[in-house]
Amino acid sequence: MHTIFSANDLHDTIRSVFTAQRQHAAQMALTTAAQRIERIRRIGKWVDKHEEAIQQAMYEDFRKPAAEVSLAELMALRSEINYTIQHLGNWMKSHRLPTPTVLIGTKSYIRYEPKGVVLIIAPWNYPFVLAIRPLVSAIAAGNVAIIKPSELTPNTAKLISRMIEELFPVEEVDVFEGDAEVSTALLEMPFNHIFFTGSPAVGRVVMTAAAKQLASVTLELGGKSPAIVDETANIKQSAERLAWGKCVNNGQTCIAPDYVLVHQSVKDNFLQAFRAAVSAMYRGDNKPVVDSDSYARIVNSRHFERLRNLVDEAVAKGAVVSMGGTMDASQNFIEPTILERVTSDMLIMHEEIFGPILPVLTYTDLDEALAVVNERDKPLALYIHSRNRQTIDYIINRTSAGDTVINETLIHFSNSELPFGGVNNSGFGKSNGFFSFQEFSNHRGIMQRDFGTMKFIYPPYTDTVRKL
Ligand code: NAD
């Protein structure tokens, strides 16, 4: 943990850690798969040993229920660790490539080499997994790394510092806690790669800073992820899955369904099933949701006020709260809330909601629904709930999204085989498994000649070459 007293201290400390890491990077690059796996196992063991402390830190940060920490953070981390351990030996091997006839006598292959010193900037909403999962991939690819956790979840940030301090020397992995000032100071260093998870607005700042150093970037951003529910969907199941996806972590999930476009003919059924799903999850014995210990809180009063304003503004313009709506500023509590009669001039249809508020819009012609999706930035996730294969393909062919999930929500993040990430405004570069390993690697092309010479390419050129 760094003790920093002034801006000068901050810059000096960052520079000295960065220099130490840059010197150590060459040694890390030479590590074998077994040596990297040993480091990754260290992380896994620490997590197993300190699961309660991790849960406690996030409870203190925003009352994240312990079970949600285990399910949504640690399960996803453990599966990525196991997957990486299982496949790393293979990923690190040189990959042979085909040779065109004209280059006969040569062989070509890709060797994944570490990028070097990498910076991982993490958000607050899944503050542990979104800092440590990229670290697993960075180590797998043979890099040294600095992590900058979010200042909005200070207890988790402290725990991450402690964990890294116990597991790694500073020249291999280090943590700088703090806010945008610390991030900005870090971004002045010539990192070889920056892996940023956060908002599109800060993503732009990060990419601008990276451009100055020509550092490569992975941007895992956010935005409005729509869900389309058509008239053939299994309404009960869809409502349950979307209700869970909207309410888990109190709606503060980058891939939470942001708004729903439901076919007019099934809207009433959908709303009824959504209400029932919320009650089943959070209203045992008919108690109010605020008493549920399975329901997290909005991370701070700034975000609470932002969400309250979104609802107030929508209602002032004619939207109707048709479920929930209860808010308690003293504990940053917002009940799962449905807004109907939402129109595109309302702020809630422009910014990422990031809270348990669901605008439900209706359509009768699928193209109208697709127009609503397509007039916005390309989403991180698009959810399609339908039992009609043609409709599903129609939607996929006429939209673009980082990932698309059919008849489910959120769980695609946990499949290490699937590329996870956005497109344009929702980010670029993909994470999970081999995709993360690739993000943290330079795909070095190597060609070797074993026999033959292409004398014909040397001057003086002959007619044969001129006609090639
Ligand atoms: P944020 O962009 O405000 O902050 C992310 C990180 O950037 C934090 O560590 C913060 O300290 C740092 N930061 C803030 N201002 C900065 C600046 N000016 N310069 C440099 N660094 C700065 O995001 P957040 O509020 O922590 O997280 C919510 C956002 O993250 C949402 O948009 C959500 O969709 C997105 N998100 C995306 C993913 C994904 O995998 N694609 C996952 C989780 C969250």
Residue that has been written with the tokens 């599903």 in this structure: 392
Residues framing ligand 1 (Cβ under 6 A): 121-125, 130, 148, 150-151, 179-180, 183-184, 197-199, 202, 205-206, 220-222, 254, 352, 354, 380, 422, 427
Measured CA to CA, the distance from residue 140 to residue 35 in angstroms comes to: 9
Tell which one of 161, 199, 252 to mutate to probe ligand 1, the residue whose CB is within 8 A of the most ligand atoms: 199
Phi then psi for residue 166, to 5 deg, are: -75, -25
pLDDT (0 to 100) of residue 216: 98
Measured CA to CA, the distance from residue 203 to residue 219 in angstroms comes to: 6
Kindly report the protein residue whose alpha carbon is nearest to atom 32 of ligand 1.
199
CB neighbours of residue 252 within 10 Å? 23
Q: Count of alpha carbons within 13 Å of 267, Cβ hemisphere only?
A: 17
pLDDT (0 to 100) of residue 468: 72
Domain 7-222+427-445: CATH superfamily is Aldehyde Dehydrogenase; Chain A, domain 1 (3.40.605.10)
What's the CA-to-centroid distance between 256 and ligand 1, angstroms?
15
What's the CA-to-centroid distance between 220 and ligand 1, angstroms?
9
pLDDT (0 to 100) of residue 456: 85
Kindly report the protein residue whose alpha carbon is nearest to atom 15 of ligand 1.
180
pLDDT (0 to 100) of residue 462: 83
Kindly report the protein residue whose alpha carbon is nearest to atom 43 of ligand 1.
254
Nearest to 307 by CA among 343, 357, 264: 357
Average pLDDT per block of 10 residues along the chain, 468 residues long: 78 96 98 98 98 97 95 95 98 96 96 98 98 98 98 97 98 97 97 98 98 98 97 98 97 98 98 97 90 95 98 98 97 98 96 98 98 98 98 98 98 94 97 98 98 90 78
What's the CA-to-centroid distance between 317 and ligand 1, angstroms?
30
What's the CA-to-centroid distance between 255 and ligand 1, angstroms?
14
Nearest to 217 by CA among 191, 183, 199: 191
Active-site choice (73, 172, 220, 352):
220
What's the CA-to-centroid distance between 133 and ligand 1, angstroms?
16
Measured CA to CA, the distance from residue 383 to residue 408 in angstroms comes to: 7
Measured CA to CA, the distance from residue 160 to residue 123 in angstroms comes to: 13
ipTM for this model: 0.98
- Distance from CA of residue 230 to its chain's centroid? 27
Q: Cβ distance 100 to 88 under 8 Å?
A: no
Active-site choice (240, 254, 335, 352):
254
CA geometry: angle 18, 23, 24, nearest 5 deg: 95
Q: Which residues are CB-neighbours of 382 under 8 A, at least 6 positions away?
A: 225, 226, 227, 228, 373, 395, 399, 401, 403, 404, 405
Q: Cβ distance 227 to 406 under 8 Å?
A: no
Please measure the distance between the N-terminal and C-terminal CA atoms of the chain and give it in whole angstroms: 63
pLDDT (0 to 100) of residue 7: 79
User: Which residues share a beta bridge with 197?
Assistant: 220
Q: Where are the domains of the chain?
A: 7-222+427-445, 226-414
Nearest to 81 by CA among 115, 44, 118: 44
- Specify whether 220 is catalytic: yes
Handedness of CA 356, 361, 366, 372 (dihedral sign): negative
Tell which one of 14, 73, 128, 150 to mutate to probe ligand 1, the residue whose CB is within 8 A of the most ligand atoms: 150
Nearest to 348 by CA among 381, 383, 318: 318
pLDDT (0 to 100) of residue 28: 98
- Specify whether 254 is catalytic: yes
* pTM metric for this prediction: 0.96
Q: Identity (one letter) of the amino acid at 109?
A: Y
Under CATH, to which class is 226-414 assigned? alpha beta
pLDDT (0 to 100) of residue 466: 76
